[in-house]
Structures are given as C-alpha cells and as structure tokens.
Chains A and B, each alone.
Chain A
Amino acid sequence: MDLTADYFSLFQLPRSFKIDMTELDARYRNVQAEVHPDRFAAASEAEKRLSMQWATQANEAYRTLKKPLERAKYLLHLAGHDVQADKNTAMPAEFLMEQMEWREAVADARAGGDHHELEQLLERLNTDLAAHYGELAALIDDVADWPKAAEAVRRLMFMERLLSEIEDALVALEE
C-alpha cells in the first residue's frame, strides 16, 4: 500500500463524484481488516506504526469519500481548484437573500415551536439539495467544469448549514 496514493486509489474506486456506496463500504472494510492492530500483535514496532498510519489514512479517506460535499471538495482539491470557502464572500445576491429568508423562517418556526413548519422546511430543503447534488455531479463527472463546480460547492455549504440548523431546531423542540 502507498501512503501517498489518493483516497480513490486507496479504495480502488474511479476518481468521480458518483461512486458506488456499497463498494466504498466493502473496500473500506477490506482495508480496515488488513491494517487491524490484531494482525500486527507480533510485528515489529516499525510495522505497528505503519499499520497505525494506514488505519488513520483509511478512516480519513472513508470519511471524506462517504459525504457527497466532502467528496466534491476533495475532487476539486485533486484537480488543483480551491473552493475558497474562507475568502470568497461574493455569492450571488439573490442566493444570499434566499438563504437569509430560509434562516429567518427556521428561526421563527423554532421560536414559535412550530414542528410542522420545520418538517415542511426540511422537506423542501431536501428536494433542493437533491437537485443541487445532481447538478454538481454533472459539473464534475460530465463536463469537468471546476470553477462552476466550486461555486456549486460553495452554495451547498450554505445549504448543508441550513440543514443542520433545521435538524438542531427539530431536536430542540423534541426535548
């Protein structure tokens, strides 16, 4: 095994946004089994250290590839494109206005204890998210338009944040 290999090669998967989750899970379990500490009980210290490094690398790789947004960011990184998550604040105004309205709606529903409204917001958002991830898949896998993919990732970062806001609000109302 090669510690400098990218996460896709590590799991012998094609370097693409659309991946087979069952395959990812299976390959991850294989790698985990290979580097499991029990197998290195009698090994030298150097070999133990190496197997530990491998286990860490495999965990990190799995975490990254499993979540679509992290996978997209990683593909951008491999293609040499920065998402500019910290510095690019100039999102289209109408998108930001929409995000602000979403956040207001979530805050109001949470303050008013409106469980039903939150569920509806969640449903709408999940539909939006599915459509956006579909577009992102096409931008990466079909046309390899990295600047547009980076913008789509930035939008999705706001939407994922919104998703966790709604989920938090729902949990808070349950309690």
Chain B
Amino acid sequence: MSYSEKVIDHYENPRNVGAFGKEEEGVGTGMVGAPACGDVMKLQIKVNKDGIIEDAKFKTYGCGSAIASSSLVTEWVKGKSVDQALAIKNADIAEELALPPVKIHCSILAEDAIKAAVADYKKKHGE
C-alpha cells in the first residue's frame, strides 16, 4: 500500500501541531482513539466571541493517514462556525486524502475528534 501525495504532504509538514494553553478562552478539546490500530488523537478548537473557530491544534500518535486526517481537519475547521464544523464528514476527509479502504477508520477518527471537541466546547460554554 502506498500513501497518496496529499497524505505524504500532511504527514511530512503537519499543520497546526500542538496544544492551546490551559488558560486560553474558548477552547474545546476532543480526545478520541481507534482500537483497531491503537491510534490516539487530541484535537482542539479555539472559538471566538462570534462562535467562529479561529484556530485549531492537534496531536496524533498513529500512522501517516491518521496524522494527515487530523492535520487536514484542523485546516478545514478554521473560519467555520462550530455547527458548520460538525458537518465535516469522514467521507470528505477520505476522499480529499485518497485514503484506501483499510485506512477509512483514520478519517472516522478525525471526524469524531471534531465532534468531541465541539461537544466539549459547548459543555464548557453552556450551550
């Protein structure tokens, strides 16, 4: 199996790696894991007063496809409202990165990470 160019690009130059400071406002954190491959993914969104995601960070321990999926979604969610971010589907991620069927669970993981981050944000901010 070979990785697509887009996967390799995100893997070699991952966007938005890291974490927000604990004291920062408007942060929602999603932690998810895929038992099938033991991948662990932490995705954070930083939401401004207008409910728009202005920044996102991630840290993923996993294969190239898992890293690429999380890197890609941190780019996609920026500028979106939290509800628009929820509309991101794993199929879109898989298509963009040309993931083979055995790696679809990596894109599911990334979709679930966004959902978990949004849920955490809403819980903390009383929505």
B40: min CB distance to chain A, Å: 5
Size of interface on B: residues with Cβ below 8 Å to A: 19
For residue A97, CB closer than 8 A to chain B, the reply is: yes
From B35, B38, B42, B104, A88 is in contact (CB under 8 Å) with B35
From A87, A96, A104, A153, B33 is in contact (CB under 8 Å) with A96
For residue B109, CB closer than 8 A to chain A, the reply is: yes
Contact B32 A103 (CB under 8 A): no
A64: min CB distance to chain B, Å: 17
With contact pairs A83-B35, A99-B33, A160-B38 given, residues A89 and B112 touching in the complex (Cβ less than 8 Å): yes
Contact A90 B32 (CB under 8 A): yes
The residues in B between 46 and 65 inclusive whose CB is less than 8 angstroms from any CB of A are: 59, 61
Contact A89 B59 (CB under 8 A): no
Contact B36 A103 (CB under 8 A): no
CA of A104 to CA of B42 in the docked complex: distance in angstroms?
13
Q: What's the count of A-B pairs with C-beta under 8 Å?
A: 60
0/1 interface trace, chain B 50-87, chain A, CB 8 Å (1 if under): 00000000010100000000000000000000000000
Number of contact residues on A: which range applies? 20 to 34
Residue of B nearest to A157 (CB): B35
Q: Which residues of A contact B (CB under 8 A)?
A: 83-91, 93, 95-97, 99-100, 103-104, 107, 153-155, 157-158, 160-162
Given contacts A89-B32, A90-B32, 12 further A-B contacts (CB under 8 A): A85-B35, A85-B36, A89-B113, A99-B40, A99-B61, A100-B31, A100-B59, A100-B61, A103-B61, A157-B36, A158-B40, A160-B38
Q: Which residues of B contact A (CB under 8 A)?
A: 31-38, 40, 42, 59, 61, 104-105, 108-109, 112-113, 116
